[in-house]
Amino acid sequence: MNKSELIEAVSTAADLSKAAAGNAIDAVVAAITKAVAKGDTVTLVGFGTFKSSKRAARVGRNPQTGKELKIAATTVPRFTAGAGFKAAVSGKKAAKKK
């Protein structure tokens, strides 16, 4: 599914125009991006968690030459799927909390 297909699905499910659905999706993505870039965590219960994660510097290897090279430390976005999302993808029912 690409962005235009997602906009179509949201506009149909929420009874919105395609323009309004597109604006809503853009706003959600922008808000998540801004929050994670600041170092905050965004949790959508049942769907998942977006957060930033630090990768340490390390030594890699050029696959063509075999020569070692330094890979700098960096901060990357990370997504962890929630229980409801995992259950929907696997086709199983989500486990209920006790």
Written as six digits, the tokens of 48 are 């998942």
Tell whether 35 and 46 lie within a shared domain: no
Residue 96 lies in a domain: no
Residue 32 lies in a domain: yes
Average pLDDT on 4-13 reads 95
User: What pLDDT score was predicted for residue 93?
Assistant: 74
58: left (phi over 0), alpha (psi -120 to 50) or beta: beta
User: What pLDDT score was predicted for residue 96?
Assistant: 65
User: What pLDDT score was predicted for residue 94?
Assistant: 62
From CA 42, how far away is CA 71, in angstroms rounded?
A: 28
**Which residue range(s) make up the domain with 58?**
41-85
pLDDT tens column, 32-80: 999 999 999 999 999 999 999 999 999 999 999 999 999 999 999 999 9
Residue pair 76/53 in contact (Cβ under 8 Å)? The answer is: yes
Residue 60 lies in a domain: yes
Residue 94 lies in a domain: no
**Helices of type H across 1-98:** 3-14, 18-38, 83-90
Q: Dihedral sign, CA of 45, 88, 98, 50?
A: negative
Please check the confidence at residue 26 and state whether its pLDDT lies above 90. yes
From CA 13, how far away is CA 29, in angstroms rounded?
A: 19
Number of domains the chain is built from: 2
Residue 8 lies in a domain: yes
pTM of the model: 0.80
